[in-house]
Amino acid sequence: MAYPLVVTKRMMEHPTDSHTMERYEATGGYVAARQSIGQTREELVELVKASGLLGRGGAAFSAGLKWSFLAPARPAYLVVNGDESEPGTFKDRQLMERDPHQIVEGMIIAAKANEVHDSFVYIRGEYPKPARRLQQAVAEAYAKGYLGKGIFGTDYDLELTVHLGAGAYICGEETALLNSLEGRRGEPRLKPPYFPAAKGLYMKPTIVNNIETISNLPHIINQGSEWFAGLSDSADTGTFMMSISGHVNKPGNYELPHGLTWREVIYDVAGGIRNGNELKAWVPGGASAPWFVPELHLDKPVTKEACAADGSMLGSGAIIVMDHTTDMVGAAERLVAFFAEESCGQCTPCREGTTWLDMILQRVLNGAGRDADIDLLLDVADNISVGLGWPPKQTTICPLGPSAVSPVMSLVRHFRDEVEAHIASAPHAGGQGVSVSIRGIA
Amino acid sequence: MSDPLVKITINGVAHHVPGHSVLIKTAEDLGTYIPRFCWHPRMAPVGMCRMCLVEIEGPRGVMLVPSCTTPIHDEMIVHTETDTVKKAQEGVLEFLLANHPLDCPVCDRGGECPLQDQTMAYGPGESRFVEEKRHYEKPIPISDLVMLDRERCILCARCTRFSDEISGDPLIEFMDRGNSTQVNTFTEEPFASYFSGNTVQLCPVGALTASPYRFRARPWDLRVIGSTCTVCSAGDSISVHASQNEVLRYLGVDNDATNHGWLSDKCRFGFEYLNSDDRLTTPLVRGADGEFAEASWSEALGLVAEKLTAIVTDHGPQAVAGLGGSRGTNEDAYAFSKFMRTVVGSGHIDSQMDDGLNPQLLAALSGKGLIGDLEHAKTILLWAADLKEEHPTLYLRVRRAAQELGAKLIIVHPRRTGLDDRATFKFGYKPGDGGRVLSELMAGQGEYAAARAALSEGPVVAIVGRTGLTESPVLAESVAAFARDLPNASVLPIVRRSNTYGALDMGLAPNLLPGRAGIGSPGCANLEATWGGLPTKAGYDAAAIATGIDEGSIKGVILLGADPVADMPNGLDLTAPDFVVAIDLFLTESSSQADVVFPALGFAEKEGTVTNLEGRVQKVNRVVPGPGQAREDWSILDDLAARMGKPMGFASAEAISKEIAHVAPAYESVTWDLVTWDHPDGAVVPVVAERSPLEYVPVVSSTSSTPSKSEFVLHSARTMYDNGVMCQQGPSIGKLAPGAAAYLNPDDAERLGVVDGDLVRVASTNGQGDLPVVIDSSLTDGVVYVPFNQPGGPRFGSDLDVSVVKL
């Protein structure tokens, strides 16, 4: 079944050269940017508000509304978040690699809409090729006068800097990203100030948008907000990109309309489970999202609201599918280990707690689990994310700590029997059993 | 303007408080202590430890928030004792303890450890953490003075924030991330900060320990007494900790007026000289063989009384001169002043070593500007010594004003200073050329226009002193004259020795009498009555005393805790006088040349008051008895006076303070009771402005300095650590003196054909030395900087002109 494409249309139609300036301009590129330079901030903000475009970085907040919050102080900055590091998320990578001019053009529009003259793209350090492609596109745009002093022959100046991170997941959190961009340790900032739109980069008003969000802008200018809103039946307008990985037959990036069910996404779009296996669970919106299971969620719609109602989130649109061969304790441990590794180390509960959770899970996997460990897991998790609810009531500055709680919570909620089985099959089952592997005596 | 009041309800009790604060502080002020590790009232909150989580009722329901980063607001409702809060706090403590080694029995912090205390108060009884703990090599030295144990560290960022935000030398930082986050130094860059000891005091666990104190005592074995630091003249509040009659450490005490709780390492670790084996313990009398022999007090006192009396009889009282008194207490200084004037009858007395400022200037400005004025300053003029080297806690206050409070900072100094990175304007110049700089700054000419404009914006705080020892004191006086007429100006005059201001206030200057009275000042009736007459003529200052010695008119010299041979820029010939008596802690370059030496008690061994650069009188207290037969300066002088037939009648330091309060106009009614109870931060004298009869108005002198025509001029200035006896008698800090070197600007070095480390010969009419070159781009062409009084270093006196030759 073919869905209407927006941000991936060019790359699908011109798979070999969609990243070049030549192809981009031959397919209507930079028309929207030229037009936007002649428009006022109010016009552009209203247009994007009317389009209903929501941020695609995970929080799904209205892009136009965010722009309207930009404080009047100047200088102000535009920062585009390309630090896509959530396990299972790889959509921005494709947009940067395959259609970088779409991002440059989107940034010109966003810059004009916010009367910004300095913009940055922050790309995760492990993305050399996307960075190269984007850097190439930026160089081409500078050469043509689309960036730099007096762009498109007007008196509007816009600088665009591509910045590569140094390999820290936390720099995807917007305030940690800003710290990193300033040359500081990539650590989330304290709130207040609550929004970069008031105090962001160098404590100046800053718009932070995601790559996919930005990529939609030229299309909204060209085809109008009504067209964009009309692509979807829900409040979440346009299309959205989903990165599907795990035990499916056709993993990959898909640009999809809103409102499909999970069954359609997993079985139709992604071609079903490998080897005809049974679906066991999936992570619906990036590694930090609580898991869904087929018994409860397979026929639920893939929307922000539906996910929230079921205590999870669509997040950055990454789904990781697990079939019946998966050891769920192992899966949880792997996810928790990621967050423990990526904790910035500022807040005690996250720094100590995520690693502790991982150590307990490792111990259970290694046959040294104790009966008390399930309660211990839940209580340690509770000290990071109070009440284990969703959205989390965190004891930390940013949501990374609670993100590590999601797999633990999901594991015990849906697969408690598997944890118990691991514990029961431990060589010292029933006893305290711990000192065996922990102190390295056994 | 005060903040409007807001209503805040804590645990059901409503309060109305000023609206600008963070919750943790407001709650504490209102009597609700919220546990914390990372928050510190003098540093920006980081919200890292999460110990201070509390619940507030917000628009989206009850939220758990860190109280250290949450500003208070009107109608705020706070819960600090709910089950959720307790669970969160217990959880944080459990997390902190998970990887903590729990080696409290061998940890210096045991017994005074916030982690230990809060675990007892708020923590879980036992740990559920059964995994293997984090391991690091422990402890590792991160500087000569500080050891780091990363296993104990709870990553609260107090030390890293201090060195970044407060002291401005961010030499320790977080490395790595997550569970591997650790505090460490940068590769091959030790934590060589003048303020490193503060991080030890700030550390809420035993992660940072001070090498001089490690394993020396347990907190419950310590005798602790509040006192005032006497290393520099800022008057830092401290507590002195002693065990078994030995002083073991100082801690900084937070005092809004002075040090904000901080200390330099020289203050913090500089007490070690007290415990030195070289301390004098008995009187020493030089025998016929020229060697010192131990003597009884009565023998030594009798000899000195006899010799001094003979000199006075044979050559008149003006043949005796006194030097010193700026290192002790006001009571000691008053005793010396009274002894010289009434017992000997000589006015040749000076507490400055020809390296300070006009005593009338110091006495007149004292009490007119406060360190606290820096908090409100719009513009700060710093035309004095490098504060980082000489007045470290004042340096921190100026840094704070420029960095956190937005004051414009104007620095005039021949070389880079510790505050250059925070300076709005920095003007380098060649020593001798300061007069031109001042006149151009006053006129706002050329490059000085913007700085002059900034000085027109009050309040202005001007910190004025000599930038170096080759710079004329008249220049500083001219700068002070200019500064005191600036809008809403406070002038803080700067000299080095700790109690110089007190000594001058006690009349230890050739032209001053106790209580900031000049010779011939009105209002000294009490003094006249008590002393039985007043001097009518000014005596010699230190330089004139040196000349008098050379010319043979000074036959007897009394040194009170003074080492003029080493300390006076041009030295002093102590072999010439017929008789020299020294009251000292050590055999110094000077006291070792005396005929009789009396052993004196030092800091923490005696009581008294001291006066800081603001004119703030604070108490110093006794916590240990002192070595051997050492005695207070005043009591030695009192005994001597009695033996010379003119008893001064002192019974105790407190009795002397009462006499001072009676006779010295500026100190009227400033007794110990007042200082201790009514003014715990000390009282700034004069408490009543009219009681200071001395009104010395400096004027701008056209000859405030004279440009040199020599190819090289010398800049000579003091460093924090030097060859001074108190520094060198401390094993921890003595070795930190940077050593003598010739600092040259790159162009001069190129012209001389020398690079870093090459030897040059620097020579003046007074001395010469072969010194390694250090390239220093902050110097102006034609200036060679040689740090003063370094171990093995040469002395050039106050000569401005020098020659520099490649060897």
Query: What are the pLDDT digits (tens) for A284-320?
Result: 999 999 999 999 999 999 998 999 999 999 998 999 9
Does the pLDDT of residue B724 top 60, yes or no?
Answer: yes
CA distance A331 to A335: 6
The answer to whether the CB atoms of A356 and B95 lie below 8 A apart is yes
Could you tell me the CA-to-CA distances from B70 to A83, A194, A262, B241, B443 in Å, in that order?
Answer: 29, 12, 41, 36, 48
pLDDT of residue B708: 86
Has residue B324 got a pLDDT over 80?
yes
Average pLDDT value for residue range B454-470: 94
- CATH top-level class for A239-323? alpha beta
Burial of A271 per CB tally in 10 Å (0-12, 13-18, 19+): middle
Spell out a b/e string for B47-67, using b for 16 or more CB atoms within 10 Å of the CB, else e.
Answer: bbbbbbbbbbeeeeeebbbbb
Residue of A nearest to B129 (CA): A356
Q: Pick B712-806's CATH classification: 3.40.50.720, 3.20.20.100, 2.40.50.100, 2.40.40.20.
A: 2.40.40.20
Kindly state the tokens that stand for B217.
């005592």
Residue A160 is inside which H or E element, if any?
Answer: strand A159-164
Cβ contact, residue pair A383, B92, below 8 Å: yes
Reference B325, options B317, B315, B335; nearest CA is: B335
Cβ atoms < 10 Å from Cβ of B682: 26
Both tokens assigned to B698? 């400096």
| Among the partner residues B50, B128, B132, nearest to A438 by beta-carbon distance | B132
Domain ranges of chain B: 5-81, 136-275, 284-355+500-691, 367-490, 712-806
Per-residue pLDDT tens for B167-191?
999 999 999 999 999 999 998 899 9
- Report whether B627 contacts B279 (CB < 8 A): yes
pLDDT at residue A442 greater than cutoff 70: no
* CA distance, residue A347 to nearest chain B CA (Å): 5
Q: How close, in Å, is residue A135 to chain B by CA atoms?
A: 29
Q: Which residues of A touch B (CB under 8 A)?
A: 168, 170, 185, 190-192, 340-349, 351-356, 359-360, 363, 376, 379-380, 382-383, 386, 393-397, 434-435, 438-440
Between CA B455 and CA B461, with CA B460 as vertex, the angle to 5 degrees is 125
Could you tell me the pTM of the whole model? 0.94
**Topology adopted by domain A328-438:** de novo design (two linked rop proteins) (1.20.1440)
Task: Give the pLDDT band of residue B1 (cuts 50, 70, 90).
Answer: very low
Convert the pLDDT of each residue in B624-656 to its tens digit: 999 999 999 999 999 999 999 999 999 999 999
This model of the complex carries an ipTM of 0.94
Q: What's domain A9-230's architecture?
A: 3-Layer(aba) Sandwich (3.40)
Rounded distance between C-alpha atoms, residue B593 and residue B587, angstroms: 9
Candidates A192, A343, A393; nearest CB to B178: A343
Give the residue among B186, B162, B184, B183 at the shortest CA–CA distance from B264: B162
Please give the pLDDT value at position A434. 45
In chain A, what residues touch B132 (CB-CB under 8 Å)? 438-440
**What is the domain partition of chain A in residue ranges?**
9-230, 239-323, 328-438
* Token pair 């010939």: residue: B573
Per-residue pLDDT band for B2 (boundaries 50, 70, 90) equals low
Selected residue of B99, B131, B161 to mutate for chain A interface (largest A Cβ count, 10 A) = B131
- Interface contact flag, B46 A190, Cβ < 8 Å: yes
Q: CA-CA distance, B436 to B45, in Å (whole number)?
A: 46
A52, A56, A172 from A61: Cα distances, Å: 10, 8, 16
Q: Which two tokens stand for residue A266?
A: 């997993």
Q: Is the dihedral of CA B11, B17, B23, B27 positive or negative?
A: negative
The superfamily CATH assigns to domain B367-490 is Dimethylsulfoxide Reductase, domain 2 (3.40.228.10)
Mean pLDDT value of segment A251-278? 96
Of A436 and B748, more confident: B748
Residue of chain A with shortest Cα separation from B92: A349
pLDDT in tens, B225-277: 999 999 999 999 999 999 999 999 999 999 999 999 999 999 999 999 999 99
- B180 contacts A354? CB cut-off 8 A: no
A355 to chain B, closest Cα gap in Å: 7
Question: In the prediction, which pLDDT does A426 show?
Answer: 80
Q: Supply the pLDDT for residue B631.
A: 98
- CB of B94 within 8 Å of any CB in chain A? yes
CB contact B178 to A (< 8 Å): yes
Pairing outcome for strands B182-185 and B172-175 = antiparallel
pLDDT digit string, tens, across residues B669-718: 899 999 988 888 999 999 888 888 888 888 998 778 888 888 999 999 99
Using a CB-CB cut-off of 8 Å, the residues of chain B touching A191 are: 69
In this predicted structure, the answer to whether residue B3 has a pLDDT above a threshold of 80 is: no
Name the nearest CA neighbour of B38 among B117, B156, B205: B156
Residue type, B537: K
Burial grade of A4 (CB within 10 A; 0-12, 13-18, 19 or more): exposed
Give the pLDDT confidence score for residue B474 in this predicted structure. 93
Write out chain B residues lying below 8 Å of A397, CB-based: 47
Range with lowest mean pLDDT among A91-105, B694-708, B736-750: B694-708
| pLDDT number for residue A437 | 41
Distance (Å) of CA B245 to CA B112, B598, B632, B729: 21, 22, 17, 18
**What is the CATH class of B5-81?**
alpha beta
Q: What pLDDT was estimated at residue B703? A: 79
Mean pLDDT (chain B) is 95
Q: Measuring CA to CA, how many Å separate B600 from each of A233, B583, B607, B635?
A: 93, 6, 13, 10
Task: Report CA torsion sign: A150, A156, A162, A163.
Answer: positive
Q: Which of chain B's residues have a Cβ under 8 Å away from the Cβ of A374?
A: none
Is there a contact between A396 and A349 (Cβ–Cβ < 8 Å)? yes
CB contact at 8 A, B652 and B641: no
CB A52 within 8 A of CB A235: yes
Position with higher pLDDT, B522 vs B745: B745
**Contact of B206 with B152, CB cutoff 8 Å:** yes
Cα angle B311-B317-B322, degrees, rounded to a multiple of 5: 90
A295, exposed or middle or buried, with CB in 10 Å at 0-12, 13-18, 19+? exposed
User: Residue A162 and residue B351: Cα distance in Å, rounded?
Assistant: 65
Residue A430 pLDDT grade (very low, low, confident, very high; cuts 50, 70, 90): low
pLDDT-derived band of residue B353, with 50, 70 and 90 as boundaries?
A: very high
Q: Given this model, what pLDDT does residue A436 score?
A: 40
Number of other residues whose CB lies within 10 A of the CB of residue A143: 11
> Which of B640, B694, B630 shows the shortest CA–CA distance to B335?
B640
Once rounded to an integer, what is the mean pLDDT over residues A48-58? 94
Measured between beta carbons, the chain B residues lying within 8 angstroms of A342 are 177-178
The answer, yes or no, to whether residue A441 has pLDDT greater than 70, is no
Distance in angstroms (rounded) separating the CA atoms of residues B562 and B499 = 12
> Taking residues B375-396, what's their average pLDDT?
97
Q: What was the pLDDT predicted at B19?
A: 86
Provide φ and ψ at B580, rounded to 5°.
Answer: -130, 130
Statement: B284-355+500-691 belongs to CATH 3.40.50.740:
yes
Instruction: Among A168, A343, A346, select the one facing B179 at the smallest CB separation.
Output: A343
Tokens representing residue B482 in the block: 């200019």
Q: What is the mean pLDDT of residues A45-73?
A: 95
Residue B139 to chain A, least CA–CA distance (Å):
21
pLDDT at A440 over 60: no
3-class SS of residue B774: strand
> Does B69 lie at the interface with A, CB-CB under 8 angstroms?
yes
Q: Does domain B136-275 have CATH number 3.30.70.20?
A: yes
Q: What is the mean pLDDT of chain A?
A: 94
Cα B447 from Cα B425, distance rounded (Å): 10
Report pLDDT for A1: 57
Contact criterion met (CB below 8 Å) for B33 and B118: no
Q: Measured between alpha carbons, how far is A174 from B210 in angstroms, rounded to an integer? A: 39
**Are the C-beta atoms of B335 and B637 separated by less than 8 Å?**
yes
Q: Which residue of A has its CA nearest to B60?
A: A393
- Average pLDDT (B434-449) is 95
Q: Which residues of A touch B186 (CB under 8 A)?
A: none
Q: How many CB pairs under 8 A join A and B?
A: 102
Phi, psi of B640 (to 5 degrees): -65, -45
Going by the DSSP 8-state scheme, the letter that residue B494 receives in this structure is E
